[in-house]
Amino acid sequence: MKRISAVAIGFALLLATGCQTAQNAEGESDVREVNVYSSRHYDSDDEIYQEFTESTGIRVNLIEGKDDELIERIQTEGTNSPADVLITVDAGRLWRAEQAKVLQPVQSETLEAAIPNNFQHPDNLWFGLTQRARVIAYNKAQVQPSELSTYEALAEPQWQGQVCIRSSTNIYNQSLLGSIIETVGADKAEAWATGLVNNLAREPEGGDVDQIKAVAAGECKVAIVNHYYWARMMASDDAEDREVAEKVGLFFPNQTDRGTHVNISGAGVVYDAPNREHAIAFLEFLASPEAQEVFAKGSYEFPVVEGVETDAIVEGLGDFKADAVNVSALGRNNPAAVEIADRAQWK
């Protein structure tokens, strides 16, 4: 596998030229490679790419960067872009790629059969690869699981001054809010956001790990976080991380109604992909049980394909009911979510 830095623009342009000069009569590249732009940064992903190459003989050229930067880069490169596949995290960012018109629809019986409908774009512009649950982290010395129920309950007076959460500018929170809009409507979603802000123990700061640390330290009793941040801390070689995580429990909210909000990382084929057939084969490989298990165990996420084994720490969290809303709604509702957060003064 060839790894390319996101700032290696000169090399990328050279690669684009090479792709243009080696095409067959159908316009497909004769080069057995696939050029992947990815915002995921896991060693386990590299393992999957290497297995794909060993299985198919198709080399993976990897360009890494931040989600929005990669989308903008594909737009800037235009028809000269070497990009075949875009991999990004969060349905909200996949929506941004959709709005930027950098993806093309893909017809694949393999992908449609393997991946649940709610993790596929309605027009097949992208497909989910992994799923992550946005859960309630709680201080085990201060809170009993029986005191917890729903996301909405965290906006009630009993939690005043007890809640931590990162900024509303974070796409994870925008997508959570987008899911609530989809389920209960914008008015109730805004009432929830306002109540949540009123219950904050501190102004939003830091990432999900910082929220977990704040819960463990007693700065707040509960926080809303993605589950895998806690799992990583539990599996860490750093004793301090493990000590923090052991003080914190995870609770899956909304189990008696719609289910816990889940999001995805996902991928699509770029609109002018020079290696389109290789790109589709690559996505199909990522949906295989073998690749899904590496995804799940390497990043502590949940697989999107049923029946795939997860990491033991994640497995220990138990089964839960997940929100079945099609995650494309999270992106569609993103503009409304941002406006609601602003009106609620969710910084």
Q: What is the mean pLDDT of residues 202-214?
A: 98
Looking at residue 209, its amino acid is V
Q: How far apart are CA 321 and CA 308, in angstroms?
A: 17
What is the spatial distance between Cα 227 and Cα 172, in angstroms, rounded to a whole number?
12
pLDDT value at position 30?
61
What tens digit of pLDDT does each residue of 168-182 get?
Answer: 999 999 999 999 999
Structure tokens at 184: 């209960």
> What confidence tens digit (pLDDT) does each residue in 273-296 have?
999 999 999 999 999 999 999 999
Distance CA 56, CA 85 (A): 17
- pLDDT, averaged across the chain: 92
The answer to whether the 2-131+263-310 and 133-260+320-343 domains have the same CATH topology is yes
pLDDT in tens, 101-133: 999 999 999 999 999 999 999 999 999 999 999
Q: Which fold has domain 133-260+320-343?
A: D-Maltodextrin-Binding Protein; domain 2 (3.40.190)
pLDDT digit string, tens, across residues 135-146: 999 999 999 999
Task: Tell me the pLDDT tens digit for each residue of 53-104.
Answer: 999 999 999 999 999 999 999 999 999 999 999 999 999 999 999 999 999 9
0.85 exceeded by the pTM? yes
| Location of structure tokens 């990432």 | 207
Q: How many CB atoms lie within 10 A of CB 110?
A: 14
- Are 51 and 114 contacting, i.e. CB atoms less than 8 angstroms apart? no
d(CA 62, CA 5): 8
CB proximity list for 328: less than 8 A, separation 6 or greater: 91, 94, 95, 121, 122
pLDDT of residue 20 exceeding 50: no
What is the rounded CA–CA span in Å between residue 71 and residue 67?
6
Taking CA atoms, 175 is separated from 168, 169, 328, in Å, by 10, 11, 10
Instruction: Say if CB 64 and CB 101 are below 8 A apart.
Output: no
Q: What single-letter amino acid sits at 103?
A: L
**Which residues are CB-contacts of 133 (< 8 A; sequence separation ≥ 6)?**
226, 227, 252, 260, 261, 262, 302, 320, 322
If residue 8 lies in a helix (H) or strand (E), which one and from where to where? Answer: none
**Given a cut of 50, is residue 11 above it in pLDDT?**
no
Res 210 pLDDT > 50:
yes
3-state class (DSSP) for residue 302: strand
**What does residue 244 show for φ and ψ, rounded to 5 degrees?**
-65, -50
- Cβ-contact 252, 302 below 8 angstroms: no
Q: Residue 335, Cβ neighbours under 10 Å: how many?
A: 13
Classify domain 2-131+263-310 at the CATH topology level: D-Maltodextrin-Binding Protein; domain 2 (3.40.190)
Q: What is the CA radius of gyration of the chain?
A: 21
Task: Assign 3-state DSSP to the chain and report helix, strand, coil percentages, each to 5.
Answer: 45, 20, 35
- What are the residue boundaries of the structural domains of the chain, listed by start? 2-131+263-310, 133-260+320-343
